Amino acid sequence: SGLPTATDEALDTTDPVSGREYDYLVLDDRRFELCAEFATFQTTSGDRAFWSHPVGRHCFDIDVETIAREPVVPVSPLATAPPTGR
pLDDT in tens, 32-58: 998 988 888 888 887 777 788 899 899
Give 51-85 pLDDT, tens digit per residue.
Answer: 888 998 999 998 988 875 655 555 555 555 555 55
Distance CA 53, CA 60 (A): 9
For residue 24, how many other CB atoms are within 10 A of its CB?
21
- What's at 84, amino acid-wise? T
The H-or-E segment that residue 27 falls in is none
67 torsion bin: left (phi>0), alpha (psi -120 to 50), beta (else)? alpha
- Collect all residues with Cβ–Cβ distance below 8 Å to 15 and sequence separation of at least 6: 21, 22, 36, 37
